Structure 1
């Protein structure tokens, strides 16, 4: 039996962790923060304000894909946070043995920039937000997932996700 992984995607500050935690709790699934899969070299680059390259991201995405597949092999669906900004990154994640569905948390640079500026204790500086929006490729019509506006409260966003993916 193939399980399902919900990948909560979007730029930094879009609310991925908050919404993913709500979804994981509602669905009774384990959750992974993609940030925890970054090698130290990636974290150091981001802390210094240097955007990651596709080559930097590939091993990170593959380790996340393998985590999804390992849980699928045990018959467990999952919820994952991951920026998954480009289709090629989502294609790597779709290589997991589970069915991978995407939840794109979408907002304007102004709304997300304000949230990101108010956040503390994260290695992703607000100065990299522009590069994330530049890289962002919204979900294609042929990609399994939904796009949800981030201006609603997190509980309402989680409601919309659950309704939209049924």
Structure 2
């Protein structure tokens, strides 16, 4: 098989158990784009955590402020709404690709456990992106008015971020997401989470 054909072929490999693949990272890392691409290629539902923010939170982020002003309880309620959407899909037998920041170790563990409780497999793919590339993407996004979360929030997210440590988070993999082709990043994510899907012969 030629390299040009490999991405879609790999992404369409079938799994033997239910799974949820969380795409995590700071804003601009490509979570939504890569999760959506994965969902389309695999043929599974796509859940975007941004869709579960309250109107108050969206207004804060549109003004360049973080949701911390709404209190820690808000963040927990928001995460539960996101996880609830993923669990709903699992209860009817579907796999899920989910875009959700999951910036801290505790949030990643909570997300994985909530899916594992249903007997499904869960992995977090952390999209690691250089600050220069993040700023480039967010500047372009702000100029087009494509998202409510502004570039001015990036430093706060980077400060709050707890980078995954391999020895401490066995269900988390880190991949470089500086690549501007979401199909290639989606392919790397799928390969990195290979515990979820024994591949067919790719020859």
Range of TM-score over shorter length? over 0.9
- Corresponding position of 2:126: 104
For the aligned residue pairs, the C-alpha RMSD in angstroms reads 1.6
TM-score (norm 2): 0.76
- List structure 1 segments (4+ residues) > 3 angstroms apart after TM superposition: none
- When structure 1 is superposed on structure 2, of 154-163 and 91-100 the one drifting more is 91-100
Indicate conservation of the 8 Å contact 1:65/1:92, yes or no: no
Displacement of 1:134 after TM fit? Answer: 0.7
**TM-score with structure 1 setting the length:** 0.92
Deviations 1:96-126 (A, max 9, x none): 3333211111112111011111013211010
Q: Quick one: distance in 2 between partners of 1:161 and 1:138?
A: 17
Residues 1:123 and 2:138 aligned together: no
**C-alpha contact 2:130 2:178 (8 A) present in aligned 1:** no
Provide the residue aligned with 1:23 in structure 2.
Answer: 38
Count of residues in Structure 1 that have an aligned counterpart in Structure 2? 166
Alpha-carbon distance in 2 for matches of 1:126, 1:14: 12
Please say which of residues 9-18 and 142-151 is displaced more in the overlay. 142-151
| Matched residue SS, 2:111 | helix
Distance 2:187 2:132 in 1: 24
Q: Which residue of 1 aligns with 2:95?
A: 77
Q: Structure 2 regions of 5+ residues with no counterpart?
A: 1-15, 195-203
- Structure number with larger C-alpha Rg: 2
Partner of residue 176 from structure 2, selected from 146, 149, 159: 149
- The answer as to 2:114 corresponding to 1:86 is no
Could you say which residue in structure 2 is the equivalent of 1:136? 161
The answer for unaligned runs of 5 or more in structure 1 is none
Q: Aligned match of 2:50 in 35, 50, 55?
A: 35
